[in-house]
């Protein structure tokens, strides 16, 4: 390889490995797939030779390589582990065709890293269990890790950089005249805080719309459905990309009362891009996304959140959008990734 082309970011051969739980880009849910797809699209548009390893029904400007016709979440006849093994090994058998492999799949591809010569970068989107950290630790000496927020860094792991997730801002236009509803947008699961959002809106006396896939059926049936029945919340189901921006942008505010340390929070960035301020519980990456009192509010309790709803009108919606354009655009993400690639390849191919 001629390092001159690497240093100027020209024509790298890059493999982007997406998960196969959902299609790329997702039809409604799939944040890791969304970022993998966005990585491939952004690198392609920057002039690189990109291959996206994803499901066969994925849509991309880059070259698509697939051994799984559909995602296992959308086709229940597919065995997830079988599909994942075939998918990962398909890329690894072709590793020598690429200058860089960018892994968005999680820890399983790391088991190949010692067996291939191509450098592999892994964006760590989160830790599903403390037990998987052992794999990252064991592979750290020959792998390259990127965090998606400083708060999500594990103390025992070495990281090359924090590169925040980036959104395609043209898909989230500015809405300057919002409706009167608050919005909850996320998985219907206790840790995402829909029940807390309902209580916030009851105190603040503001209508609540909620959208997202039902991930915990018991929670939905026992805790949420009674409020839907009596009209305290309007549940819209899962919302696809065609209508997401309008729902986010027309909201008076987005409520994000999480009870876990969220690694990033795409819906927070997407809402702010549309001009919608966010009220979030001060957990995980939220202080990195939200400037408290300037483009939203960081709170600790339901009552604090309800008070924040009453003063959300002081937030300048255009400043919410500008904050995203400066910090969480796809272009900013791609720039960060390319800088990491350059450092890796400069070490491998010194001048």
Average pLDDT over residues 5-15: 70
pLDDT digits (tens, 9 = 90+) for 35-45: 999 999 999 99
User: What span, in angstroms and rounded, lies between the C-alpha atoms of 269 and 343?
Assistant: 28
pLDDT digits (tens, 9 = 90+) for 320-329: 999 999 999 9
All structural domains of the chain, each given as residue ranges with its CATH number in brackets, are 3-166+330-348 (3.40.50.2000), 169-327 (3.40.50.2000)
Tokens of 18: 């997406």
Grade residue 349 by pLDDT with cuts at 50, 70 and 90. low
User: What span, in angstroms and rounded, lies between the C-alpha atoms of 247 and 115?
Assistant: 47
pLDDT greater than 60 at residue 23: yes
Grade residue 350 by pLDDT with cuts at 50, 70 and 90. low
pLDDT greater than 90 at residue 251: yes
Q: Are 186 and 278 in contact (CB under 8 A)?
A: no
Mean pLDDT of the residues in the chain: 94
């Amino acid at each position: 390889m001629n390092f001159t082309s690497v240093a100027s970011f020209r024509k790298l051969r890059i493999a982007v490995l997406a998960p196969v739980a959902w299609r790329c880009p997702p039809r409604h849910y799939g944040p890791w797939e969304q970022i993998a797809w966005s990585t491939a699209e952004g690198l392609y548009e920057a002039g690189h030779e990109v291959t996206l390893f994803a499901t066969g029904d994925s849509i991309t400007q880059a070259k698509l390589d697939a051994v799984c016709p559909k995602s296992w979440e959308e086709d229940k006849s597919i065995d997830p582990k079988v599909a994942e093994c075939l998918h990962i090994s398909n890329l690894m058998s072709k590793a020598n065709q690429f200058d860089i492999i960018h892994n968005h799949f999680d820890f399983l591809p790391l088991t190949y890293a010692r067996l291939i010569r191509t450098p592999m970068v892994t964006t760590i989107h989160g830790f599903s269990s403390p037990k998987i950290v052992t794999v990252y630790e064991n592979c750290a000496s020959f792998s390259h890790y990127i965090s998606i927020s400083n708060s999500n860094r594990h103390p025992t792991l070495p990281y090359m950089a924090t590169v925040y997730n980036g959104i395609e801002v043209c898909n989230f236009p500015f809405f300057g005249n919002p409706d009167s509803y608050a919005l909850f947008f996320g998985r219907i699961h206790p840790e995402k805080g829909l029940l807390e959002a309902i209580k916030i809106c009851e105190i603040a006396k503001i209508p609540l719309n909620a959208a997202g896939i039902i991930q915990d059926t018991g929670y939905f049936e026992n805790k949420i459905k009674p409020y839907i029945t009596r009209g305290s919340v309007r549940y819209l189901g899962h919302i696809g990309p065609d209508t997401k921006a309008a729902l986010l942008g027309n909201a008076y505010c987005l409520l994000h009362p999480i009870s876990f340390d969220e690694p990033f929070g795409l819906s927070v960035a997407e809402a702010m891009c549309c001009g919608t301020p966010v009220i979030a519980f001060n957990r995980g990456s939220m202080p990195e996304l939200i400037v408290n009192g300037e483009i939203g509010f960081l709170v600790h309790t339901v009552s604090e959140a309800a008070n924040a709803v009453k003063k959300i009108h002081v937030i300048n919606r255009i400043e919410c959008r500008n904050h995203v354009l400066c910090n969480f655009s796809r272009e900013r993400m791609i720039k960060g990734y390319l800088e990491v690639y350059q450092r890796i390849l400069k070490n491998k191919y010194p001048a």
